[in-house]
Amino acid sequence: MALPRHPPGLYVLFFTEMWERFSFYCMAAVFMLYMKDQDNGHPFLQQHASIIYGWYVGTVYFTPFFGGMLADQKLGYRWAIVLGAAFMGLGHLLLAFDPLPFFFGGLIALVIGNGFFKPNISTLVGKLYQPGDSRLDSAYIIFYMGINIGAFASPLVAQYLRNRYGFHAAFGAAGIGMAISIVIFLAFQRWLVFTDYRHQAPQGAADGVVPPEVQRERHIALLIIFVIVALFWMAFKQNGNTFPLWAKDSTDRTPPGWLADATFLLDKQGKLATELSSSINPFYVIAFSPLLVLFWQRLRRSGLDPSTPAKVALGMVLTALAFFILYTGAAWAGGDQAGVLVSPGYLLGAYAAITLGELCLSPLGLSLVSKLAAPQQRSAWMGGWFAATAVGGYLSGIIGVFWERWPHSQFFAFLAASSLVAAGIMCVFLKRVRAAMPVEKDATAKPPEEPADQEQPSAVPVSSS
């Protein structure tokens, strides 16, 4: 029997997030390269690039904790998202200008805007489904594909604009992406569910309300997951910090013959542009996601599907594998020696492993928050997920400082080891986290409806195929 289709609102959120992430990663693709550029006229950025990167990534993912609480208690989801989009658009506009105060003002605006936007757009995905709906994991994987379509396209655009018009043109293009995102959200918001717990009639277990002692165990399970998440993002966020530097300085970027005439992919030296490395991970996400969903479905039909917490542990093992591949490239192929270039296969292989790890952890983590958080605190806990991401992002910048102090093989070995430690922590608490998971239901129920006094009409019922 075919699974019921997903509600139309999922695809509204898909395209809203796709363009917002295009905006976010268009800026991210050139962020580190701009700060490290010897011709940017800002020695302060050149000298403190990794620390600035860590502070930015840390704070941009920490503010969603407060944005989620404000949406839960004061603003509501709709206005929090609109306010966040306005700040993010302003941030990209400021980055399009050269003076250093504009640069830092733009970063501050992006940090504030992401705090309002990110947790609430993610929470709205879960609100399209009844508690226990078995489609929720696949809904977040679809949503996650939207994120990565935007992330895949943006470095290509950023590289083209940076190569021809300079860094600030790429920052400006990010602002255009943010404008498209909010237009889609406002134009099609009638398909979404904005009701929060203050406007819902109590329906007992149907609303996901459970006894206090059960909810306490669920929140403890989320805190355990957040520790794993922080260690994962410490490693994964190197894809915006040291990975571009490894691609630029240690990887052979000579284009194959069939790409020799594709000038839009090349830099001024005729090599494959460094920014293209930022598209590898989202390309793999788009390619691997449907295959992984089919793989989990086959395991489920055979009764062998691992639990979501077990998939998280597997994700950390795959992350460790990614850094072991890079360790091999650095140590065995001479990557620790200045000027020695290694095969791009090491970078491609590492990205493949870390992407599979990401797919075992990140979209399923968002789904876990929707499943385990108390209904009246869901956006705040979604913000907690991003706060854990913030800790990992900040640590990625701190660790990134050692890129120029340690041999690259030692740097990669450290991250492989930290990822295995995270997998071990998850295995120790696996039984407790698994026991906190709610029982899944068949996807036959309609999503909750808006009350009559709300601005939005009722959500469209889920149709069956």
Q: Is the pLDDT of residue 198 over 80?
A: no
**Phi, psi (rounded to 5 degrees) for 251:** -110, 135
Q: Please give the average per-residue pLDDT across 226-239, as a whole number.
A: 92
b or e along 155-185 (b: 16 or more beta carbons within 10 Å of the residue's beta carbon)? bbbbbbbbbeebbbbbbbbbbbbbebbbebb
Q: 187 Cβ partners below 8 Å, 6+ apart?
A: none
């504030």: which residue's tokens?
A: 112
Does residue 439 register a pLDDT over 80?
no
d(CA 402, CA 413) in angstroms, rounded, equals: 12
The superfamily in CATH containing domain 8-194+207-256+264-436 is MFS general substrate transporter like domains (1.20.1250.20)
pLDDT in tens, 72-129: 888 889 999 999 999 999 999 999 999 999 999 999 999 999 999 988 998 899 889 8
- Give 74's Cβ-side CA count (13 Å radius): 7
Look up residue 66 and give its two tokens: 């407060």
pLDDT-derived band at 382, boundaries 50, 70, 90: confident
Q: With 70 as the cut, is the pLDDT of residue 339 above it?
A: no
Task: Report yes or no: 144 and 111 within 8 Å, Cβ to Cβ.
Answer: no
**CA torsion, ordered 15, 185, 356, 7, to nearest 10 deg:** -80
The tens digit of pLDDT for each residue in 340-350 reads 888 999 999 99
Q: Are 275 and 343 in contact (CB under 8 A)?
A: no
Q: Averaged over 333-343, what is the pLDDT?
A: 69
- Categorize the per-residue pLDDT at 441 as very low, low, confident or very high, splitting at 50, 70 and 90: low
Q: Band of the pLDDT at 4, cuts 50, 70, 90? A: low
> Using an 8 Å Cβ cutoff, are 128 and 436 in contact?
no
Burial bucket for residue 298 (CB in 10 Å: 0-12, 13-18, 19+): exposed
Domain ranges of the chain: 8-194+207-256+264-436
Helix axes 378-400, 49-70, angle to 10 degrees: 170
